[in-house]
Amino acid sequence: MSEPVLEVRFTERDAATALRSDVRAGLTDAPKWLSPKWFYDARGSALFDRITALPEYYPTRAERAVLAARAGDIAALTAAQELVELGSGSSEKTRLLLDALVGHGSLRRFVPLDVSEPALRAATAAVAADYPGLVVHGIVADFTERLAIPSDGARRLVAFLGGTIGNLLPEERAWFLKELRHVLRHGEFLLLGTDLVKDPAALVRAYDDAEGVTAEFNRNVLLVLNRELGATFDVTGFDHVALWNAEQEWIEMRLRALRDMRVHVAALDMVVSFGAGEDLRTEVSAKFRPERVADELAAAGFALRRLWTDDHVRFGLSLAEA
Ligand code: AVJ
């Protein structure tokens, strides 16, 4: 097996700078918000992995079902030589794609990209060990900043799975898809996972599970701020809220202050006041109708080749050609 390469384009210092400016912007805005990017420290990533196994959280299982059913088609349609995965996390579902592309005989290189260096280090090591013929090149990067996808002329397939694109606001999404389209050459592909619009009660349950794991995941972002920015959030002073925004067709996670609070954020030399009942929005998770996926891909200059769903039409997987 060849040693996996790990390229760091987003250092701890970059992360620290980005966290500061993000938190300053979000906590001085009205209403207040934080970027979901900051959920994923080691504890947050572990909590997210637990979420994906919860009975209420269907997206991971639904996407895995579509991938399992269509991986062979994806390999045949793309004949990709390089698989780039954005926001790769554990790269667990990606193995279905790796297996199909290796089986097809075209794949040479796997390039997972993630903001979390520990997660990426573990994922690249595991994939390199299990796929001896494959060159594994991990990149620590923030794909919302600038898209740095290497190319040595290989035919690429970029996978953006899990419905993570739903974390971007509509304008950010349009910008991101255009960027990605410009990075790719004609004949290269994007494989995009999108959670689909469905019964709001089922959606809310998926983001407010009975065991309270999602609530812990949500509150964890305050612990990240306490540790990284010397903030004084009392995490027990906030309720976890998941609600369906029918107009925007997205799930919002919020943290609702249970009482009046003043929070000191030492690294920003800032005091933030919360009124009882005030919400801090921590995540937007957009849900899509198939027509919207098609429209947004077309607007970015992609040609939609396939849009598959699982048998229960809960999750969509689109294959689009640049
Ligand atoms: C990783 C962004 C796809 O939006 O469903 C899970 C994150 N938040 N439960 C999602 C998440 C609450 C997840 N994504």
Would you state the pLDDT for residue 160? 97
pLDDT of 44 > 80? The answer is yes
Task: Using pLDDT thresholds of 50, 70 and 90, give the confidence band for residue 138.
Answer: very high
Whether ligand 1 lies within 6 angstroms of the CB of 90 is answered as no
Average pLDDT, the chain: 95
Stretch 45-60: mean pLDDT: 96
pLDDT of 150 > 80? The answer is no
Whether ligand 1 lies within 6 angstroms of the CB of 309 is answered as no
Q: What is the pLDDT of residues 182-209, one digit of tens each?
A: 999 999 999 999 999 999 999 999 999 9
Q: What is the DSSP string of 112-176?
A: EEES-HHHHHHHHHHHHHH-TT-EEEEEE--TTT------SS--EEEEE-TTGGGGS-HHHHHHH
Would you state the pLDDT for residue 182? 95
DSSP strands (E only) in 230-278:
238-245, 250-257, 261-265, 270-274
Q: What is the pLDDT of residues 264-309, one digit of tens each?
A: 999 999 999 999 999 999 999 999 999 999 999 999 999 999 999 9
Element at 84 (helix H, strand E): strand 82-86
Stretch 167-176: mean pLDDT: 97
Would you state the pLDDT for residue 145? 77
Residue to substitute in 283, 315, 317 for testing ligand 1 pocket (most ligand atoms within 8 angstroms of CB): 283
Distance CA 168, CA 224 (A): 21
Whether ligand 1 lies within 6 angstroms of the CB of 166 is answered as yes
pLDDT of 112 > 90? The answer is yes
Q: Quick one: residue 153, left, alpha or beta (phi over 0 = left, psi -120 to 50 = alpha)?
A: left
Whether ligand 1 lies within 6 angstroms of the CB of 162 is answered as yes
Q: What is the pLDDT of residues 60-77, one digit of tens each?
A: 999 999 999 999 999 999
pLDDT of 2 > 90? The answer is no
- Cross-strand bridge partners of residue 252: 243, 284
Q: Quote the ligand 1 centre to 221 CA distance (angstroms).
A: 13
Task: Using pLDDT thresholds of 50, 70 and 90, give the confidence band for residue 118.
Answer: confident
Nearest CA to ligand 1 atom 5: 285
| 203 to 99, 249, 253, 282, 309: CA distances (angstroms) | 31, 11, 12, 17, 17
Q: Quote the ligand 1 centre to 74 CA distance (angstroms).
A: 24
Task: Identify the burial level of 105 via C-beta atoms within 10 angstroms of its C-beta, where 0-12 means exposed, 13-18 middle and 19 or more buried.
Answer: exposed
- Would you tell me how many other CB atoms lie within 10 Å of the CB of residue 138? 28
Query: Cα-atom radius of gyration of the chain, to the nearest Å?
Result: 20
Query: Ligand 1, closest atom to CA 218?
Result: 12
| 78 to 54, 104, 156, 187, 299: CA distances (angstroms) | 33, 10, 8, 8, 21
Would you state the pLDDT for residue 91? 77
Whether ligand 1 lies within 6 angstroms of the CB of 124 is answered as no
Residues found in the chain: 322
Q: Is the dihedral of CA 90, 67, 134, 159 positive or negative?
A: negative
Whether ligand 1 lies within 6 angstroms of the CB of 283 is answered as yes
Whether ligand 1 lies within 6 angstroms of the CB of 208 is answered as no
Give percent of the chain above pLDDT 90.
89
Query: Ligand 1, closest atom to CA 163?
Result: 3
Q: Quick one: residue 144, left, alpha or beta (phi over 0 = left, psi -120 to 50 = alpha)?
A: alpha
Q: Quote the ligand 1 centre to 26 CA distance (angstroms).
A: 19
Q: Quote the ligand 1 centre to 128 CA distance (angstroms).
A: 27
Would you state the pLDDT for residue 1? 63
Give percent of the chain above pLDDT 70.
100
Q: Which tokens is 321 given?
A: 């050609």
- Would you tell me how many other CB atoms lie within 10 Å of the CB of residue 1? 12
Distance CA 129, CA 136 (A): 10
Closest to 14 (Cα-Cα) out of 24, 6, 22: 22
Would you state the pLDDT for residue 99? 97
What pTM was computed for the model? 0.96
